[in-house]
Chain A
Amino acid sequence: MALAAPWPFLQGQAPGNAVLSIAPSPRLTIQRGATAEFSLKAELQAGFHVNSNMPGDDYLIPIKLTWNKDPLEAGQVIYPKPQQVKLGFSANPISVYTGSFELGTRFKAPATAMPGMAFMNGKLRYQACNDKECLPPRTVDVRVTLDIQ
């Protein structure tokens, strides 16, 4: 084999990292003093996974959804049941999400909340891989349009 450059490598497309899409959400209507369920719908590009919220390996980066403290009070985020997937790089199955999945949150509107339109802002942190490579961890802003009544 000759070593003269350039070597005959296939120069493929370098990967980007926007492999997770988050669906637009309908406006969340909530009464002051009441609670309402919200579901963040996410979809991963085929072949990719993100670690679940409890990946079972201290080195892996868990998915994490966090919310600002107002105008609503956010309860504990409800993560879906993960898949246990055996990948080429792992000796044991790892706990992941693939395809479409939803992250739930129960919001409570304080009795003193200002009625009208508002936004609830949060952040979703995740780190995606396929069985060959990993993309950098990302933190994306999420926003829910509220109708506080």
Chain B
Amino acid sequence: MLKTVSAIGFGLMLAGALVGTGCSDWPGKPSAKIEKKSAADQKSADFSLKDAIGHPTPEFSLKDANGQTVHPADYKGKVVLLDFWATWCGPCKVEIPWFMEFERQFKDQGFAVLGVSMDEDGWAAIKPYVEDRKMNYRVLLGNDNVSTAYGGLDALPTTLLIDRQGKIALVEFGVSKGKEEFKNAIVQLLDAPRASLPVGSRGALALLTRPGSR
């Protein structure tokens, strides 16, 4: 059985009169700006990946390297591995070759990898990295909104597997699973009966995939 394990706990806090305020430079962390939250915003803020299994994939609207806008709905009917990562994240480097292999192996079976980079320096940092590593899957530039929508993204990598119905089937914090565990989970999701697909979507993978999506 697959298990998701949070790798770390927390105890120390910034302390002492020496230190004033601190802030995360993560683009998704709440800013000091106080805004009135809409009901939808509040719903996003309440979402936690810790309790996300079976939850519909939170919405996002992100650009890929070609400037094309991508939404989760573009991939409905496919099994998606959604990886939040950054170029400065050492542990993320471990998984990227696995995900490239999964993309090659399973893309013709209704599978896609989406890598959402949380680099604050944007494409200037991401593009050379993607080229250096010959990453073969679609990479998107993350932002505050996607971080909030996914419960804050406390650490990277954070990886989700999304089933063909667009529901979250697996959440992985950090690198605690091996390649084979991911692969087995992908295979199971690809092999899962489609009986539970919404009426009208059965066998309509191509129609559910927008032009430009993998």
The answer to whether A132 touches B91, judged by C-beta atoms less than 8 angstroms apart, is yes
Bound-complex Cα distance A145 to B20 (A): 12
A18 with B10, Cβ < 8 A, contacts A137-B24, A139-B22 known: yes
List B33-56 residues whose CB lies under 8 Å from chain A.
Answer: 48-51, 53-54
The answer to whether A3 touches B192, judged by C-beta atoms less than 8 angstroms apart, is yes
B93's closest neighbor in chain A, by CB? A89
A2's closest neighbor in chain B, by CB? B188
The answer to whether B20 touches A135, judged by C-beta atoms less than 8 angstroms apart, is no
List B76-95 residues whose CB lies under 8 Å from chain A.
Answer: 86-94
Return A21 CB to nearest CB of chain B, in Å: 5
Bound-complex Cα distance A47 to B173 (A): 16
- Chain B, interface size: which category? 35 or more
A6 with B176, Cβ < 8 A, contacts A15-B154, A22-B16, A138-B24 known: no
Return B128 CB to nearest CB of chain A, in Å: 9
B118 contacts A by Cβ under 8 Å:
yes
List A1-59 residues whose CB lies under 8 Å from chain B.
Answer: 1, 3, 5-25, 40, 43, 45, 47-48, 59
* A9 cross-chain contacts in B, Cβ below 8 A: 2-4, 53, 170-171
Bound-complex Cα distance A135 to B125 (A): 18
Bound-complex Cα distance A139 to B28 (A): 15
Partner of A133 from B8, B18, B26, B93 at Cβ < 8 Å: B8
Return A52 CB to nearest CB of chain B, in Å: 13
The answer to whether B9 touches A13, judged by C-beta atoms less than 8 angstroms apart, is yes
| Interface residue count on the A side (C-beta < 8 Å) | 56
A3 with B189, Cβ < 8 A, contacts A20-B12, A130-B8, A133-B157 known: yes
* A130 cross-chain contacts in B, Cβ below 8 A: 7-8, 174
Partner of B17 from A24, A48, A125 at Cβ < 8 Å: A24
Closest 4 CB pairs of A and B: A12-B6, A136-B26, A133-B174, A5-B54
Residues of A within 8 A of B (CB): 1, 3, 5-25, 40, 43, 45, 47-48, 59-61, 87-90, 94, 121, 125, 127, 129-145
Residues of B within 8 A of A (CB): 1-26, 28-29, 48-51, 53-54, 86-94, 118, 120, 125, 129, 151-152, 154-157, 163, 167, 169-171, 173-176, 184, 188-189, 192
